[in-house]
Amino acid sequence: MRRVQWFILSFFVLTLSFLSGCAVNPATGKSELAFYSMSEQEEVSLGKKAFPEAIQRMQGEYDDQRLKEYITAVGMRLAKVSHRPNLAYTFKVVNDSSPNAFAMPGGNIAITRGLLVALENEAQLAAVLGHELGHVTARHSVQNLQRGMLLNMGLQVLAVSSSGTSYSGVARQAGQLAGSILDSSYSREQEREADRLGIDYMVKAQYSPKGAVELQEFLAKKSGEGESKWMQGLFRTHPFSKERMSDNQYYIDSKYSWAVNDEAYVSVAGDFQRAMAPLMKTKEAYGDYDKAREKEQSKDLAGAIALYEQAVHKAPDQGLLQSALGMAYLKNNSLDEAKKHLAKAVQLDGDYYESHFGLGYLLLKENNPTLAKEHLQKSMKLMPSLGSAFYLAESYEKTGELAKAQTLYGQVAAADPGGNLGRTAAARSRALGGRR
């Protein structure tokens, strides 16, 4: 029995040694056990595929070019003094009300509208972006991929390239991977390491570490109040604790106390407030939008439409508000109103998948498959979905592109074999096969 046990243990160790490798943390220089050692090129490639999907899942990018340039400037000021200054960093503001920030592999970093409006100065913003940079430079997302169940999904995304014009397996995998990375939380040690690295980068970039202290104090207050938005946003993926706040305070006191009151290390409240001014003007409208979404989720469609209308009246130039109102009217079968607001949404912001999907669907129902096809193709390029794929296949069928229609129906059927769309797609694919 002992020989058998020894054989099994030896086999397990040998197998683990064969499958595992060592990955080096670029920020610490330490070797870490990994089931798959992902190269920097693979990390960057994975981020390029998953990040756009993540942005779409969080209501798209907030459309303010000056704000985007400002956030990028702050982010790059930190990135240049980080452990990985040569990555091609991307910084985005996403149009999501939940207070959150996230990092994808390869240097892709985003902060939400909901978190931005809670900050008071540039040093606090630098604390948020520096923390996310710490996750990137220490390759925390890659560590989680290398150690977890997402590895297989990540390797499939890396192995196959997708044009974004068909509902292929890799397109679905990229979307699933983006969603899984967004939903996964970091370990306590990863959060502490990102905190320390972020503070290091702040001081190197000559930001006052008081910004990190203020941010932690603010998070402690929100944690104590137990606000649902914070629990569903930042605290869900970035676990917060009073112990972590104390650790950060000790780290600043022991290493950077000299910089806390040094005038050379700035907070830059004025620049931050000027950059934020247009966003702050839409805050009340997005408050109505959030209430409308709650009404819609509770099946009070009439109440939701009234609040969406109120939001659009306050901020008519916001594409997401127009899109939400148009989709609500579509659910209410008010097709003329739906088309008006969805067309306006596309005009204001042509880079949000849902606006194109809704407008494409309406145009298809109006028997305008040529124009419908354009919007459904754009929706698929931004974020492939079963619905967009099915109605795009129907558009191809109606414009006489039968080979494309049959192929796409087949992909929908394979992706949704037990669902209504999948069964309908399978039947149409078979029918088209008989006609060709």
In this structure, the answer to whether residues 255 and 289 fall within a common structural domain is no
In this structure, the answer to whether residues 252 and 297 fall within a common structural domain is no
On whether residue 2 sits in a domain, the answer given is no
DSSP string, 313-378: HH-TT-HHHHHHHHHHHHHTT-HHHHHHHHHHHHHH-TT-HHHHHHHHHHHHHTT-HHHHHHHHHH
Q: State the Cα–Cα distance between residues 378 and 400, nearest whole angstrom.
A: 20
What pLDDT sits at residue 434?
64
On whether residue 14 sits in a domain, the answer given is no
What pLDDT sits at residue 10?
40
Give SS3 for 267. coil
**Minimal CA–CA distance to 155: which of 173, 182, 140?**
173
In this structure, the answer to whether residues 428 and 285 fall within a common structural domain is yes
Torsion-angle region of 419 (φ positive above 0: left; ψ -120 to 50: alpha; else: beta): beta
What pLDDT sits at residue 185?
79
Count: domains in the chain = 2
In this structure, the answer to whether residues 224 and 321 fall within a common structural domain is no
Q: State the Cα–Cα distance between residues 291 and 241, nearest whole angstrom.
A: 29
Of 260, 293, 322, which marks where a domain is finished?
260
Of 260, 289, 314, which marks where a domain is finished?
260
CA 406, chain centre distance (Å): 32
What pLDDT sits at residue 166?
58
Give SS3 for 21. strand
In this structure, the answer to whether residues 317 and 346 fall within a common structural domain is yes
What pLDDT sits at residue 18?
39
On whether residue 233 sits in a domain, the answer given is yes
pTM of the model: 0.87
User: Residues in the chain with pLDDT < 50?
Assistant: 1, 4-20, 161-165, 170
On whether residue 17 sits in a domain, the answer given is no
In this structure, the answer to whether residues 299 and 393 fall within a common structural domain is yes
Burial class of residue 387, CB neighbours in 10 A (0-12, 13-18, 19+): middle
In this structure, the answer to whether residues 337 and 396 fall within a common structural domain is yes
Residue 91's domain comprises: 37-260
Give SS3 for 408. helix
Q: State the Cα–Cα distance between residues 361 and 167, nearest whole angstrom.
A: 17
On whether residue 212 sits in a domain, the answer given is yes
In this structure, the answer to whether residues 165 and 134 fall within a common structural domain is yes
Contact yes or no for 193/83 (Cβ under 8 A): no
In this structure, the answer to whether residues 305 and 218 fall within a common structural domain is no
Of 260, 293, 321, which marks where a domain is finished?
260
What pLDDT sits at residue 156?
59
On whether residue 265 sits in a domain, the answer given is no
In this structure, the answer to whether residues 119 and 239 fall within a common structural domain is yes
In this structure, the answer to whether residues 223 and 144 fall within a common structural domain is yes
In this structure, the answer to whether residues 166 and 220 fall within a common structural domain is yes
CATH number at residue 424: 1.25.40.10
Cα angle value 413/414/419 (rounded, 5°): 50
What pLDDT sits at residue 284?
98
What pLDDT sits at residue 226?
61
Give SS3 for 85. coil
On whether residue 13 sits in a domain, the answer given is no
What pLDDT sits at residue 319?
98
Contact yes or no for 79/89 (Cβ under 8 A): yes
Q: Which residues contact 100 (CB under 8 A, 6 or more apart)?
A: 58, 111, 112, 114, 115, 233, 234, 237
On whether residue 306 sits in a domain, the answer given is yes
Give the amino acid at 77: R
Burial class of residue 375, CB neighbours in 10 A (0-12, 13-18, 19+): buried
For residue 203, give Cα distances in angstroms to 101, 110, 244, 247: 21, 21, 19, 17
CA 424, chain centre distance (Å): 31
Give SS3 for 102. strand
